[in-house]
C-alpha cells in the first residue's frame, strides 16, 4: 500500500507539471498574439497554425476545392496561393505546385527529415513541401492544411482593396535592438522581428554574424497594416532614428553587420526609397544608406527579440531626430 501511494503521488506530480507547462505555453501564445494583433483563432486553428499540428487527411474544406480564386493565410490574410497552381495529388490535403512569390518560407522541420512551410508574413504553420514527386512539371508539392487557409473567390478578390492584407519590409540601421525599438512602437506596425539578411551563410547565428565574414546585416522585419500607416511613413522613421551618413557602421558599432541598408520588397518600395535618398541628398546629406532587394531573412535567437522591451530600456545610438 505504501508503495502504491508513492507511485500515485509521483503520477500526480507529473500531471501537475504537465499542466503547468501547458498553461505557460497557452499564456505565452496569448501574449504573443496580443502583440501581433492578428486574427483571433479558434482552438482548432491554433493547434495547427501556432502549434504546428496537422488536420486529418481528407477532412479539410479545400482538399477537393476547385473554384477559381486565391488562398490567403487564415491568421494574417496574406495572399499565399492561386487556384491555377492547385492540383489533385490524392494525398488528403490541398496541394499546390507554386506559391505567390515571397509569400511562403521553407524551414527545416523539427523531425529533421521534412521541410516545413510557413506564411512569410506571420510565420503561421501551413504544412510541408515535397520535391521531385512527378505530379506536375514544376515537381513541387506544397501540402497545406485547409485550416491554415482562407479562400476568396476570384470575383470577390477583384473587388477587394489591395491594401486589406498586411505588408512587410526590412530595415537595417545598425544594432537591430535599437532599430526594432522604434518600429515596434510605431502606429500601424503589427509585428517586428530581428534577424539577418544579405549574407552568404544559411541559418547564421548572432555570434557568427558579429565575428564578420558572413556578409549579413543586422535587420529588422516590420509587418504593418497599410490601412493605418504606409511604407513612406516608416521610411521617414528609418532615416530619423539613425545616422544614415555613417559609412562603417552605426555609432560605436563598427562592421559590415551594422551598415545602413534598405531591403525593399516591391518595386514601389524601391521607388520610394530612391525618392527619399534623393530628398536627403538635396538637403545636403551625404547618404551612406544602400538599397538592396530583400533576400532570405534569418530570424535571430529568441533573446534578441524585443530586447529593449524586455530590459525596459532605450537604445544608446538610435535617437529620434526629426528631419522631414
Please list the active-site residues.
Answer: 175
Instruction: Quickly tell me which residue has 505555453 as its cell.
Output: 25
* 20 C-beta neighbours (distance < 10 Å), count: 10
Query: 249-285: string of b/e by CB count within 10 Å (b at 16+)?
Result: bbbebeebbbbbbbbbbeeebbebbeebbeebeeeeb
The dihedral over CA atoms of 191, 193, 198, 202, expressed in degrees to the nearest 10, equals -130
8-state DSSP, 41: P
Q: How far is CA 209 from CA 88, 107, 215, 288, in A?
A: 43, 20, 8, 21
CA distance 195 to 177: 10
In degrees and rounded to multiples of 5, residue 266 shows phi and psi of -135, 160
CA distance 283 to 25: 51
Sheet strand arrangement including 79-82: 79-82, 69-73, 149-153
Q: Record the cell numbers describing residue 35, joined without a space.
A: 502583440
CA distance 298 to 219: 9
255: Cβ–Cβ under 8 A, 6 or more apart, which residues? 210, 212, 248, 249
Torsion sign across C-alpha atoms 179, 181, 182, 186: positive
Q: Record the cell numbers describing residue 59, joined without a space.
A: 477532412
Amino acid at each position: 500500500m505504501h508503495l502504491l501511494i508513492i507511485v500515485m503521488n509521483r503520477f500526480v506530480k507529473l500531471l501537475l507539471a504537465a499542466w503547468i507547462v501547458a498553461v505557460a505555453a497557452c499564456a505565452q501564445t496569448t501574449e504573443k498574439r496580443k502583440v501581433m494583433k492578428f486574427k483571433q483563432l479558434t482552438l482548432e486553428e491554433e493547434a495547427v497554425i501556432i502549434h504546428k499540428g496537422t488536420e486529418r487527411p481528407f477532412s479539410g474544406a479545400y482538399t477537393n476545392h476547385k473554384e477559381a480564386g486565391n488562398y490567403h493565410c487564415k491568421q494574417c490574410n496574406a495572399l499565399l496561393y492561386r487556384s491555377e497552381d492547385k492540383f489533385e495529388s490524392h494525398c488528403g490535403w490541398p496541394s499546390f505546385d507554386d506559391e505567390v512569390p515571397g509569400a511562403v518560407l521553407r524551414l527545416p522541420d523539427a523531425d529533421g527529415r521534412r521541410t516545413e512551410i510557413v506564411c512569410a508574413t506571420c510565420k503561421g504553420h501551413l504544412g510541408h513541401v515535397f520535391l521531385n514527386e512527378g505530379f506536375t512539371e514544376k515537381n513541387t508539392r506544397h501540402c497545406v492544411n485547409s485550416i491554415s487557409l482562407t479562400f476568396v473567390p476570384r470575383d470577390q478578390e477583384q473587388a477587394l482593396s489591395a491594401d486589406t492584407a498586411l505588408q512587410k519590409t526590412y530595415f537595417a540601421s545598425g544594432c537591430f535592438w535599437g532599430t526594432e525599438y522604434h518600429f515596434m512602437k510605431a502606429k500601424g506596425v503589427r509585428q517586428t522581428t530581428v534577424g539577418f539578411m544579405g549574407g552568404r551563410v544559411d541559418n547564421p547565428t548572432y555570434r557568427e554574424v558579429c565575428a564578420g565574414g558572413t556578409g549579413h546585416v543586422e535587420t529588422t522585419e516590420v509587418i504593418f497594416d497599410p490601412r493605418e500607416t504606409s511604407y513612406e511613413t516608416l521610411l521617414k522613421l528609418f532615416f530619423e532614428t539613425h545616422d544614415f551618413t555613417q559609412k562603417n557602421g552605426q555609432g560605436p558599432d563598427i562592421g559590415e553587420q551594422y551598415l545602413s541598408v534598405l531591403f525593399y520588397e516591391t518595386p514601389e518600395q524601391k521607388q520610394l526609397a530612391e525618392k527619399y535618398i534623393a530628398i536627403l541628398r538635396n538637403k545636403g546629406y551625404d547618404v551612406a544608406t544602400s538599397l538592396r532587394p530583400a533576400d532570405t531573412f534569418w530570424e535571430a535567437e529568441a533573446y534578441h527579440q524585443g530586447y529593449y522591451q524586455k530590459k525596459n530600456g532605450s537604445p544608446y545610438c538610435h535617437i529620434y531626430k526629426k528631419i522631414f
